[in-house]
Amino acid sequence: MAISTDSLLAGVHFPEQTPAAAIAHKSLAVNLSDLAAMGAMPQSWTLGLVLPEWDLSWLAEFRSGLNQLLLQWPMQLQSCAVCEGPLSVNIQVQGGLPQGQALRRSQARPGDLIFVSGTPGDAGFALACFFERESYPENEEHYLCRRLAYPQPRVELGLALLELANAAIDISDGLAADLQHILDESQVGAAIELDKLPVSSAMSTLSADKRVRFQLAGGDDYELCFTISPDQLERLNQIMSLLSIRCSCIGEITQDNKLEFMQNGQQQDLFVQGYQHFISRD
């Protein structure tokens, strides 16, 4: 059994004016993303909902947002609690695994290839646009807003990687920060090729420096970062074709116990930091 729990708070994990359907979708999706990173099949869930007021129309929209994912990944609701207070959503999910199997963060090996699904950085860019620190590129606002408000948990990919990947994690706090968790627990290092980071059409409008920082530290993408042995590359290509999911090789696991960034064969002096709880954001 794989278990994950997460809490999303208004004004921290989503803007307070976010529609109820989007809040519901994201709250469930981020937990399903954790199951995906363990290669687990979603089975059941619990819900704790804190509301500033009792609003039946808001609750109906919230339920609709949950149902969009539950139709795709049916799970039994084990318990639900609702109370009054600042808006927050607290969900726990449980997933099934074959006996003795799971994707872990602690099994990456030197020589492994590092892959990432999708195009990390989109959600961080969208959030910067929302707060008017950046401007939406022409014809890309809808795409970016969907990437932030409606992340798609890579459950199918996680299930397919269960007997293929050596280590995996989902990207919630930024690609570099979450990859570091794999490195720490596996006691290895990594060399990331900046030119190999996947780029969406929206992200391609940014300068190279801004783009790389969103890609490495933006967070909120809920894509999967995983490592595989090079001899599994053909099987991974078959999986990507079957699932129609883009996965990009962005580097290699090393023995150095440090995370390095490379460009054109040269090491880059780059400091990036993902989302951190309990720090001032003034």
Q: How many helices (H) and strands (E) does the chain have?
A: 8, 11
CB 148 within 8 A of CB 214: no
Residue the block writes with tokens 């580097």: 251
Site of tokens 């001899």: 231
Confidence (pLDDT) at 270: 75
Asked if 224 and 168 count as a contact pair (C-beta separation under 8 A), the reply is yes
Q: What is the pLDDT of residue 16?
A: 83
Report domain extents, the chain: 2-96, 113-268
Q: What is the DSSP string of 70-94?
A: HHHS--EEEEEEEEESS-EEEEEEE
The hierarchical CATH code for the domain 2-96 is: 3.30.1330.10
User: For residue 280, what pLDDT is reported?
Assistant: 46
Q: Buried b / exposed e across 195-216, counting CB within 10 Å, b at 16+?
A: eebbbbebbebbeeeebbbbbb
The C-alpha atoms of residue 178 and residue 194 are separated, in whole angstroms, by 16
How confident is the prediction along the chain (282 residues), in pLDDT tens digits per residue? 999 999 999 888 888 889 999 999 999 999 999 999 999 999 999 999 999 999 999 999 999 999 999 999 999 999 999 999 999 999 999 999 998 899 999 999 999 999 999 999 999 999 999 888 999 999 999 999 999 999 999 999 999 999 899 999 999 999 999 999 999 999 999 999 999 999 999 999 999 999 999 999 998 999 999 999 999 999 999 999 999 999 999 999 999 889 999 998 888 887 666 555 555 444
Say which CATH superfamily domain 113-268 falls into.
PurM-like C-terminal domain (3.90.650.10)
Per-residue pLDDT at 17: 87
